[in-house]
Structure 1
Amino acid sequence: MRNDMATEKAEAAAWFRTLRDEIVAAFVALEETHTVGPLSEAAPGTFDVTETRRASEEGGDAGGGLMSVMRGGRVFEKVGVNISTVYGTLGERAQAAMAARKGLPGMADDPRFWASGISLVAHMQNPQVPAVHMNTRMFWTPHGWWFGGGSDLNPCIEYDQDTAHFHATQKAHLDPHGAAHYPRLKEWADTYFYIPHRNRARGVGGIFMDDYCTGDWQADFALTQDIGRAFLPAYLPLVERRRVQGWSAADKDVQLVHRGLYAEYNLVYDRGTRFGLETGHDANAVLMSLPPLAKWI
């Protein structure tokens, strides 16, 4: 039986809040500084911030978080930056899935869990600007702990220069933890963000890890932090470069079709979506990743 890791949990939850605050501030700045190019004369977007709560099966408090969503801005058509820290007991389906996936004994005997993390999805006004996803998280049970997450780029109109910058920045943040990390996490992302029924990737990849635990909590947490730190320098230059470009009706159509692909993945395959809904977290926060408009052909 592991201890409750109260100190480590608090440190992780505080980091996810810090990262959230930095990203929200950076996205607000993008809105306010977009003064040249398409939609620059519109009012800058602002975040609506809502506190979310998770009720336990017994009706008591089981944690919650903050859902921060901006809609209809100059740059962002819809972007959500959510954080949460939830706890309680896993239901039978979640217990069985976790025991099978991780080979953890004793889940049925002691199904307590604690989870904290940040989740971000940005859908852009301009089809030239890539959509993006990022999340990092820590999960604990009495039987083990682990980290997960990463970030991946989802352009509807691909630019090799943007893809190269996104990957190079992530590699630069991972390399201090060991040269093997970037190629492994890149391959992990390529496998995870794949849509079997379409026989294609969701985007141009990134980095991803799940169920990550070497036994050294500080080292694993440091790696998780640098995955989060890589996000803004990997993504912001792409937005700044592309937000001034014009677009056509055909470009917008391509974007809407690509968003349909994104929605299919998140509703059919994404493990985080399933976990959030199965454990009773706020459905609006769980489904924040869905685009405001999409199209299927």
Structure 2
Amino acid sequence: MEKQKTQAFEWFCALRNKITESFLSIEVQSFTQPKIEKRKWNRPGGGSGESTIIFGNIFEKVGINVSRVYGKLEDSAINEISGASESNGEFWASGISLVSHMQSPLIPAAHMNTRLIYTSKQWFGGGMDFTPIYKDEGDCKYIHESIKATCDEFNIEYYPKFKKQCDDYFFLQHRKEPRGIGGIFYDNLTSGNWKNDFEFTKAVGEAFLEIYLHIIHKHMQKSWTKEQREEQLIKRGRYVEFNLLYDRGTRFGLMTNGNPDAIMMSMPPLVKWV
């Protein structure tokens, strides 16, 4: 078990580094020097994490969190986490989470996270989804075909199952509308083959980076208008509403006494409600 935990945490860190380097290389192509902030934090009760935040000409704000936390859950949170009641609240969790808000309204916002959790049980979870301001059918086709190809390498049942879970999850009930064009979302993944589940989780992270880089390069040189920017800021309001009202990662972070700044890192730098 300890070897598995170490392998997973080291992968999340390696993926963070690879994504950061790739995003910074894009900023260099736009002839700007982005601002980079790194914030380390310790969790009362056990564990720590680090946030890497990039502010640039292409990426208005992208935040990448890596954490490894453990300890005992509050009584109010025990029933929220699978297997926690049987472990008397003891847990261990590690993961990577990313949210990207772009300067251009023509490039979708993106979210990706993968994680490994131990209570009396152990499982992987995560996924990716994209939120365009203006839906591009070509992008949508490319994104979903790429995700499906990744899933099919492991289990042909994964894509339809995890796509539906994503569509159901990233839905704003109070507005009766989806957050974006979806992707995949999975939780409590424990097939009985830890190595295979881990390899799938790694493949999700790699696929996300490949997909997003393709989309960014396709649109980053296109011009946009003030009216399109206004629509982008309003659409971001929906993103904020979802993360504050429904997002499980936000709830988990708060229930486990995580770092508030890291938990709220997913918030866009500018947003409007009309």
Same fold (TM over 0.5): yes
Q: Which amino acid aligns with 1:139?
A: I
Q: Does structure 1 residue 82 correspond to structure 2 residue 62?
A: no
- Tell me which residue corresponds to 1:140: 118
Alignment partners' CA distance in 2, 1:238 and 1:6 = 38
Gaps of 5+ in 1: 36-42, 57-61
Tell me, yes or no, if the aligned pair for 1:169 and 1:233 is still in contact at 8 Å.
Answer: no
- Tell me which residue corresponds to 1:54: 43
Q: Which amino acid aligns with 1:97?
A: E
Q: Does structure 1 residue 66 correspond to structure 2 residue 55?
A: no
- Tell me which residue corresponds to 2:244: 267
Q: Which amino acid aligns with 2:107?
A: V
| Distance 1:104-1:78 versus aligned 2 partners, 3 A rule | closer
Alignment of 1:1-80 (within 5 A): 5-35=1-31, 43-56=32-45, 62-71=46-55, 73-80=56-63
Tell me, yes or no, if the aligned pair for 1:31 and 1:74 is still in contact at 8 Å.
Answer: yes
Q: Percent sequence identity over matched residues? A: 41
Q: Does structure 1 residue 167 correspond to structure 2 residue 147?
A: no
Give, in angstroms, the shift of residue 113 of structure 1. 0.5
Alignment of 1:79-158 (within 5 A): 79-98=62-81, 102=82, 106-107=86-87, 110-141=88-119, 143-158=120-135
Give, in angstroms, the shift of residue 47 of structure 1. 2.0
Alignment partners' CA distance in 2, 1:208 and 1:280 = 24
Alignment partners' CA distance in 2, 1:212 and 1:146 = 5
Tell me, yes or no, if the aligned pair for 2:130 and 2:183 is still in contact at 8 Å.
Answer: yes
Gaps of 5+ in 2: none
Aligned residue pairs total 274
Q: Which amino acid aligns with 2:244?
A: L
Superposed structure 1 runs of 4+ greater than 2 Å apart:
102-107
Q: Does structure 1 residue 216 correspond to structure 2 residue 196?
A: no
Alignment partners' CA distance in 2, 1:111 and 1:245 = 51
Give, in angstroms, the shift of residue 105 of structure 1. 5.3
Alignment partners' CA distance in 1, 2:85 and 2:111 = 33
Q: Which amino acid aligns with 1:45?
A: P
Alignment partners' CA distance in 1, 2:21 and 2:194 = 29
Tell me, yes or no, if the aligned pair for 2:109 and 2:130 is still in contact at 8 Å.
Answer: yes
| Distance 1:283-1:44 versus aligned 2 partners, 3 A rule | same
Alignment partners' CA distance in 1, 2:223 and 2:84 = 53
Tell me, yes or no, if the aligned pair for 1:65 and 1:85 is still in contact at 8 Å.
Answer: yes
- Tell me which residue corresponds to 1:189: 166
Alignment partners' CA distance in 2, 1:211 and 1:178 = 16
Give, in angstroms, the shift of residue 212 of structure 1. 1.3
Tell me, yes or no, if the aligned pair for 1:46 and 1:70 is still in contact at 8 Å.
Answer: yes
Alignment partners' CA distance in 1, 2:33 and 2:131 = 23
User: What TM-score comes out, normalization by structure 1 length?
Assistant: 0.90
Tell me, yes or no, if the aligned pair for 1:167 and 1:234 is still in contact at 8 Å.
Answer: no
Alignment partners' CA distance in 1, 2:169 and 2:86 = 28
Q: Which amino acid aligns with 1:32?
A: V
Alignment partners' CA distance in 1, 2:80 and 2:21 = 37
Alignment partners' CA distance in 2, 1:85 and 1:96 = 21
Tell me, yes or no, if the aligned pair for 1:153 and 1:205 is still in contact at 8 Å.
Answer: yes
Alignment partners' CA distance in 2, 1:273 and 1:251 = 29
- 1:142-161 CA deviation, whole Å, 9 max, x = no partner? x1001100000011111111
* Greater radius of gyration (CA): 1
* Bigger shift: residues 280-289 or 169-178: 169-178
Tell me, yes or no, if the aligned pair for 1:130 and 1:155 is still in contact at 8 Å.
Answer: yes
RMSD: 1.2
User: What TM-score comes out, normalization by structure 2 length?
Assistant: 0.97
Give, in angstroms, the shift of residue 106 of structure 1. 2.2
Tell me, yes or no, if the aligned pair for 1:28 and 1:46 is still in contact at 8 Å.
Answer: no
